Amino acid sequence: MGKYVIAGNWKMNKTPAEAVELIEAIKPLVKDATCDVVVGVPFVDLPAALEAVKGSKIGVAAQNCHWEKSGAYTGEISAEMLKAMEVGYVILGHSERRTYFGDTDVTVQKRMRAALDAGLTVILCVGEYLEQREQGITGEIVAMQTKVALGGVSEEELARVIIAYEPVWAIGTGRTATAEQANEVCAQIRDVIAGLYNAEAAKAVTIQYGGSMNAANAAELLAQSDVDGGLIGGASLKPADFATIVAAAK
């Protein structure tokens, strides 16, 4: 299946100095990692994080970007700006962006296009609310989010897209999808990719699980056939826990 990628989403945590401290603590713990390791830091931490990861295996992600290259968008950051800083990754479509800040499937697709045009690798988040899972429409919701986001994305560009399945009801709640539930939806996403592209492309794409993955449950989740890594929230702020998750991604 896809290459294993463990990415931490720090959300709105850590000053630049604290970011350096955390990265310095993580670096020796993941130096022998067999998967790709990424830290998704707040915009203000990017320069410090990029400097701190030099000489290590750790990549740096921004947590969002705008779809325009420049313009009258106060408070926004463009993909071109991120690329100019040598940021490698950007997280797009996170449920917190969709829930609190008005991101839609359409604006996520526009951000995707801008990020890929700038040469970034995208971690695309998809996932359902609890009500949608209870209605039995998880597959349809996740398929639609995936299809819209990948509109206009070529098979060649798909190599720079990581998909993170994040059930919204399991983010920051302490609730986690069972390993079987996580694998089922990741497999459905892979089927969507096969339909949009082909079986080889579907096999090659990295599909992460995100939603309260932690040191205790990572091994079981990562052992699933269609789970190729994790987008880690709270546990990514704890060096030992994050390292345990990285070590489980074999």
pLDDT for 177: 86
pLDDT for 10: 98
The CATH number of the domain where 112 resides is what? 3.20.20.70
Active site residue 66: no
Residue 30: which residues within 8 A CB-CB, separation 6 or more?
A: 37, 56, 57, 58, 242, 243, 246
Active site residue 166: yes
The active-site residue, picked from 80, 94, 96, 128, is 94
Tens of pLDDT, residue by residue over 19-46, are 999 999 999 999 999 999 999 999 999 9
pLDDT for 250: 82
Q: DSSP letter at 2?
A: P
pLDDT for 101: 97
- Spatial separation of the C-alpha atoms in residues 250 and 248, rounded to whole Å: 6
pLDDT for 211: 86
- Low-confidence spans in the chain with pLDDT less than 50: none
pLDDT for 1: 64
* DSSP H helix total and E strand total for the chain: 12, 8
The active-site residue, picked from 166, 180, 200, 220, is 166
Instruction: Residue 151: give the domain boundaries.
Output: 5-248
Q: What percent of the chain has pLDDT over 90?
A: 94
Q: Is this model's pTM higher than 0.95 or not?
A: yes
For residue 112, give the nearest of 79, 72, 75 by alpha carbon: 79
Residue with tokens 């699933």: 224
Domain count, the chain: 1
pLDDT for 22: 98
pLDDT for 61: 99
